[in-house]
Amino acid sequence: MLYYLTKRLGLSVVVICLVVLLLFSLLHLIPGDPATIALGPRATPEAIARYAEKMHLDEPVWRQFLIYIGNAATGDLGLDVFSDRPVTAIILERIGFTLALVAAGMGWAMLLGIPLGCLAAVKPNSWLDRVTGVLSVGTIAVPSFLVSIWALLIFAVHLRWLPAIGAGEPGDLGDQLAHLVLPAFAIGLSWVGYLARMVRASMLEVMGENYIRSARAFGLRPRRVIFGYALRVAILPTITLIGMGFGGMISSTVFAEIIFARPGIGKLIFDAVMARNFPIVQGAVLVATGLYILVVLFSDILIAWFDPRVRESL
């Protein structure tokens, strides 16, 4: 297990380096002078020179990359070009909002999607299975930004039941939760469908296994057979899906954070790209990539913990 973890962490470092390299290349491939774009077309030469110096723009790209990787290894992600604040501090201010949104979005999707998938598999071809199937495909097909806009128009603008913008009053948990409902609904909706379909398919496969038939033959109660034996095995591919889903949701939050004017990593990256605020873009993408890798790693460990066959093969 220790060898497995070391190997995975080593690979993660390589992946992060590749991501930063790719990001560096992409940022420098964007047409136009970064200083002019960031500071406006009529910025003074002094301001442009100061920006270029701060960003090391006069250095070759490979050298900029090495400087950045060297600093990042010591936890220094640089300074915000405009406010001179440490990028790490800015990211730490926002990341909690994104994690809360992703957790809430995936949380409610899991709470609804997994039981729906189980019930559909237990009674295949029943009305519940058919309704679940239609709803699943429907929710998967609708993009989250569209759900965000509809949710905002219906529940905030028309009905005025829920707040439209922001993350809520600092220190007021109730208000913060209220502000979380619509964005979490928007980004989680398609995952209800994904999870329900995945759990149903896995459960149907597992329910046909010999050990399930044996358990039934021994006279175990159906609930015990389904949740104690079948779901425990059927959930394994779903855990992988959820792990990857967390990563995917970090990018889905961009739309939700912009539409609902919520602070977060996605909106931070979007704003920074628009302003060519390279240190923020690089730092935030680095952190988002790290998070993604960690979540996937965690889901792999969880699978190993659940499934002795995987554990023994490590």
Tell me which residues touch other proteins (CB under 8 A). Answer: 30-34, 36-37, 39-41, 43-44, 46-47, 80, 82-85, 90, 93-94, 97, 108, 111-112, 115, 119, 152-153, 155-157, 159-167, 170, 174-175, 177-178, 181, 185, 223-224, 227-228, 258-261, 263-264, 267-268, 270-271
Nearest distance from C-beta of residue 185 to other proteins, angstroms: 7
Nearer to other proteins (CB atom), residue 13 or residue 111: 111
Nearest distance from C-beta of residue 210 to other proteins, angstroms: 21
Nearer to other proteins (CB atom), residue 17 or residue 107: 107
Nearer to other proteins (CB atom), residue 9 or residue 165: 165
Nearest distance from C-beta of residue 234 to other proteins, angstroms: 14
Q: Six-digit token pair at 112?
A: 């609804």
Nearest to 225 by CA among 237, 242, 208, 200: 208
Nearest distance from C-beta of residue 143 to other proteins, angstroms: 17
Nearer to other proteins (CB atom), residue 67 or residue 157: 157
Q: Give CB contacts under 8 A, 24+ apart, made by 91-96.
A: 91/265, 91/268, 91/283, 91/284, 91/287, 93/263, 94/263, 94/264, 94/265, 94/267, 94/268, 95/264, 95/265, 95/287
Nearest distance from C-beta of residue 9 to other proteins, angstroms: 31
The whole-angstrom separation of Cα 53 and Cα 59 is 9
Nearer to other proteins (CB atom), residue 34 or residue 245: 34
Nearer to other proteins (CB atom), residue 41 or residue 308: 41
Nearest distance from C-beta of residue 288 to other proteins, angstroms: 16
Nearer to other proteins (CB atom), residue 197 or residue 262: 262
Nearest distance from C-beta of residue 200 to other proteins, angstroms: 15
